[in-house]
Amino acid sequence: MSEPGGVRVPGGVRVLTAAGRVARPWLNGDGVTSEVAARPLGGDPAAFDWRLSIATIAGDNPFSGYPGVDRLLMPLSPQGLDLLDGGTPLHLGQFDVHGFAGEDDVASFGVTEPTLDLNLMTRRGRCTGSLRSVDFSGLWTVEAGEGEDVALVVLAGSLSLGERTLPALDAVLLEQGGRATLEGTARVALARVARLRR
């Protein structure tokens, strides 16, 4: 079983196309999300070790509760996103990153038009994650180290992997030992997940 739209290419790399994703309701039913990648594959979609997804937020809604999960949120739309985190208002600009626990009381507010937001969720005690945006031009080689998964999502610009061109919101997934050389001028979201020894 593989991610929707997943195509394996040499080097321990998968290309995950935006066109292959399916939008599904949030756990609380107040929004929709499209999964980019998750581990382990298959089974209960809420029983992930880690999950990367793109949500559409169309109004003022509470976020789903995910006990035992750490979350990183990156607004992708130019207007950013306004949140209430534990009742405290917070504005996130485009490509800013905000971290919070899945148990926290977090909601969007003041939403006047739909926004896209990238979400990285990691199961506490099983793995840890980081999320940031990167601008680059030319060649860029990315590697996944021991016990690490790396995902890149194209946010803007033009990017190629070998002979394959990656449009906006397509992604590349590298599992442990994977290596990819990307070319172009682009902004990408870079998510790294380190598995914890148990």
**Domains of the chain by range and CATH?**
6-16+127-195 (2.60.120.10), 21-123 (2.60.120.10)
CA distances from 169 to 15, 62, 82, 104, 165 (A): 11, 25, 22, 28, 12
Cβ neighbour number for residue 21 with a 10 Å cutoff:
19
**What pLDDT shows up at residue 99?**
97
| % of residues, the chain, pLDDT over 90 | 71
**What pLDDT shows up at residue 45?**
66
Cβ proximity of 110 and 83 under 8 Å? no
Lowest-confidence segment of 39-43, 105-109, 170-174, 181-185 by average pLDDT: 39-43
Which of 172, 187, 169 is CA-nearest to residue 19? 169
Q: Which band of pLDDT confidence, cut at 50, 70 and 90, is reported for residue 2? A: very low
**What pLDDT shows up at residue 47?**
81
**What pLDDT shows up at residue 23?**
85
The mean per-residue pLDDT over the stretch 84-89 comes to 94
Which of 25, 19, 41 is CA-nearest to residue 154? 19
pLDDT tens-place string over residues 110-157 = 999 989 999 999 999 999 999 999 999 999 999 999 999 999 999 999
Q: How far is residue 58's CA from residue 12's CA, in Å, rounded to a whole number? A: 36
pLDDT tens-place string over residues 38-84 = 998 765 667 899 999 999 998 898 898 899 999 999 999 999 999 99
Mean pLDDT (the chain) is 90
Q: How far is residue 129's CA from residue 124's CA, in Å, rounded to a whole number? A: 10
Is 31 a residue whose pLDDT tops 80? no
**What pLDDT shows up at residue 44?**
67
Q: Which band of pLDDT confidence, cut at 50, 70 and 90, is reported for residue 106? A: very high
Q: How far is residue 66's CA from residue 110's CA, in Å, rounded to a whole number? A: 23
